[in-house]
Amino acid sequence: MSKSRAEGRVLFYGTENLGWKTMSAALRAATPELAPFDAVHVDSGKRSAAPIQRSIRTAPLTRDVVLRADRSFRRRRIMLEEKLDGLGHFDHVHCFGHLTAVPELFAERDLTYSVTTDATWAQASREIYRKHNRPAAERLLRRREAEPDVFREATFVSCTSQWAADSVTREFGVAPEQVFVDPFPVLPGHDYQRRDDASWITFVGNEFARKGGDRLLAWHQDHLADLAELHIVSAAEPPAAARSARNVVWHGQVPNESVRRDILPRTRVVALPTFIDLSPLALIEAAAAGVPIVATRIGGIPELVIHEETGLLADRDDEHALIESLRRAISDDELNQRFGAAARQHYLDHLDANVTLRRLFGRIAAVADPS
């Protein structure tokens, strides 16, 4: 769909890390048909964040670590400046995640910008990371220092959950009318649905230990192996326990389309007993396929999985409750069918990318119109 110059020209600029990579792909796929403006898509790449995150999560806070974090922010400005110089005029910039934004650079160029965030670092350090692993609190001071300006100077802030939105308004004083909730968009494509004979427990998560895959494997062997096969989709190296496990299939890293086409339709329950998460895309994709979910009650997950309606939630340290929730979701046919139908309806009503992206694009169009 060709857009006229009068409708504005927008730069989408985001990181390639984790779920943002999928959001980038969804935006690229959707803007030609859904966006009422010209869109240009540029990724900042993985290099700007991942190595710094790894070092500061595992190392003590040192002058070298702080300097590397500062260099990462300076490099981010230089990279974005080069992109803006080479791509011509823009009427607006939308950044995802929020720390890809460089407010002072946009101000120098008289550019408005907006951001999408799945959490604030202040919020995640307090509520998500454990005391022995708090990069945002003790080791990512530079990121927390950057947040206030990013949020306060943005034209609007799109949050993937109400949980994140509450932090943006409460902790950074952003006016509620400048903040709205827009869940991560699932890539458009064929609408694959769960089969009537679906029987698997499925885990999807490249960071196997962080997302609770190792303990799910142990629970399955001790309590659930006779009830259902466990299918694991992960880029991680299989642990030794997986090689000899009974009724376990390790798929390795699988393309998103294959997960949705070949794995979710055969899944009876998606299990994500994650320790550290915000708004996992895997749960939105499960809901889209009409698959019940058992997960931990952290971050934005309670907005993706409605407890006792589309799935079951438990505290991340309550292993007994998580195991029993899995057993119940697998064994109770009526409950499983009811949860699956409700999950699909919840997706259609609240999580469908055709709805969420139209809302985002509408907000952007309102501020990008050059007239």
If pLDDT is split at 50, 70 and 90, which confidence band does 47 have?
Answer: very low
Residue 192 falls inside a structural domain: no
Residue 323 falls inside a structural domain: yes
Looking at the 3D structure of the chain, how many domains does it have?
Answer: 2
If pLDDT is split at 50, 70 and 90, which confidence band does 342 have?
Answer: very high
If pLDDT is split at 50, 70 and 90, which confidence band does 22 have?
Answer: confident
Residue 174: predicted pLDDT: 96
* pLDDT of 295 higher than 90: yes
* pLDDT of 333 higher than 70: yes
Pair 58, 151 in one domain: yes
Q: What length does the chain have?
A: 371
What radius of gyration, in Å, describes the C-alpha atoms of the chain? 21
Residue 139: predicted pLDDT: 52
Pair 288, 301 in one domain: yes
Name the residue range of residue 315's domain: 200-351
139 versus 11: the higher-pLDDT residue is 11
Residue 290: predicted pLDDT: 96
Pair 245, 178 in one domain: no
Pair 72, 156 in one domain: yes
252-257: long-range pairs with CB below 8 Å, 24+:
253/206, 256/22, 256/187, 256/285, 257/187, 257/189
Residue 305 sits at φ, ψ, to 5 deg, of -120, 110
Pair 148, 253 in one domain: no
Pair 133, 75 in one domain: yes
If pLDDT is split at 50, 70 and 90, which confidence band does 48 have?
Answer: very low
* pLDDT of 19 higher than 90: no
Residue 169 falls inside a structural domain: yes
* pLDDT of 49 higher than 50: no
Residue linked to tokens 């945002």: 136
253 versus 18: the higher-pLDDT residue is 253
Residue 357 falls inside a structural domain: yes
Q: How far is Cα 254 from Cα 306, in angstroms, rounded to an integer?
A: 27
Residue linked to tokens 């494997």: 217
Average pLDDT rounded to a whole number, residues 13-20? 84
Residue 283 falls inside a structural domain: yes
Residue 146 sits at φ, ψ, to 5 deg, of -80, -25
Q: Kindly report the three-state secondary structure assignment for every residue of the chain.
A: CCCCHHHCEEEEEECCCCHHHHHHHHHHHHHHHHCCCEEEEEECCCCCCHHHHHHHHHCCCCHHHHHHHHHHHHHHHHHHHHHHHHHCCCCEEEEECHHHCCHHHHHHCCCCEEEEECCCHHHHHHHCCCCCCCHHHHHCHHHHHHHHHHHHHCCCEEECCHHHHHHHHHHHCCCHHHEEECCCCCCCCCCCCCCCCCCEEEEECCCCCCCCHHHHHHHHHHHHCCCCCEEEECCCCCCHHHHCCCCEEEEECCCHHHHHHHHHHHEEEEEECCCCCCCCHHHHHHHHCCCCEEEECCCCHHHHCCECCCEEEECCCCHHHHHHHHHHHHHCHHHHHHHHHHHHHHHHHHHCHHHHHHHHHHHHHHHHCCC
Pair 276, 155 in one domain: no
Per the CB < 8 A criterion, the answer to whether 44 and 76 are in contact is yes
Q: How far is Cα 44 from Cα 41, in angstroms, rounded to an integer?
A: 10
Pair 221, 87 in one domain: no
Average pLDDT rounded to a whole number, residues 251-259? 93
Pair 122, 229 in one domain: no
Average pLDDT rounded to a whole number, residues 166-193? 89
Mean per-residue pLDDT of the chain? 87
76 versus 122: the higher-pLDDT residue is 122
> For the segment 99-146, what is each residue's pLDDT rounded down to a tens digit?
899 999 999 999 999 999 999 988 888 888 765 455 544 456 767 788
Residue 40 falls inside a structural domain: yes
Pair 220, 104 in one domain: no
Residue 62: predicted pLDDT: 41
Residue 334: predicted pLDDT: 97
Pair 61, 181 in one domain: yes
Residue 230: predicted pLDDT: 98
Average pLDDT rounded to a whole number, residues 317-343? 97
Looking up residue 226, the CATH number of its domain turns out to be 3.40.50.2000
Residue 194 falls inside a structural domain: no
Instruction: Find all residues with CB under 8 Å of 368, minimum gap 6, and list them.
Output: 7, 8, 9, 10, 37, 91, 92, 112
Pair 101, 127 in one domain: yes
Residue 263 falls inside a structural domain: yes
